[in-house]
Amino acid sequence: MKVNRVRWGWAIGGALAAEVVLVIAAFAWVAIYSYVLHPGESAAFYQQYAMRASPWVSLVAGGPVFYLACRWIGSRFPSRAWPTAIGLFAVYFMMDAPITLLAENPNLSSWFLPVNFSIKFLACYLGGKVPQPA
84 within a domain of the structure (yes/no): yes
In b/e form, how buried is each residue of 83-110, taking b as 16+ CB within 10 angstroms?
bbbbbbbbbbeeebeeebeeeeeeebee
Per-residue confidence (pLDDT) for residue 12, from 0 to 100: 96
What does the pLDDT read at residue 113? 86
Whether 83 is covered by a domain: the verdict is yes
Name the domain count of the chain: 1
Query: Residue 127 has what pLDDT?
Result: 94
Is residue 60 domain-resident? yes
pLDDT for the residue numbered 1: 56
* CA 104, 62, 127, 121 torsion-angle sign: positive
- Give the pLDDT confidence score for residue 134 in this predicted structure: 46
Domain assignment present for residue 10? The answer is yes
Q: Please check whether residue 132 lies inside any domain of the structure.
A: no
Q: Is residue 134 part of a domain?
A: no
Q: Label each residue of the chain as H, E or C.
A: CCHHHCCHHHHHHHHHHHHHHHHHHHHHHHHHHHHHHCCCCCHHHHHHHHHHHHHHHHHHHHHHHHHHHHHHHHHHCHHHHHHHHHHHHHHHHHHHHHHHHHCCCCCCCCCHHHHHHHHHHHHHHHHCCCCCCC
- What was the pLDDT predicted at 104? 75
What region does 40 belong to: left with phi over 0, alpha with psi -120 to 50, or beta?
left
pLDDT for the residue 88: 96
* Structural domain boundaries enclosing 94: 3-127
In a domain, 76, yes or no: yes
**pLDDT at site 100:** 81
Sign for the CA dihedral angle at 134, 126, 54, 20 comes to negative
Q: Tens of pLDDT along the chain (134 residues)?
A: 566 779 999 999 999 999 999 999 999 999 999 999 999 999 999 999 998 899 899 999 999 999 999 999 988 888 888 999 999 999 999 998 888 888 777 767 778 889 999 999 999 999 998 665 54
pTM of the predicted protein model: 0.88
Residue 133 within a domain: no
Q: Report the C-alpha gap between 11 and 24 in whole angstroms.
A: 20
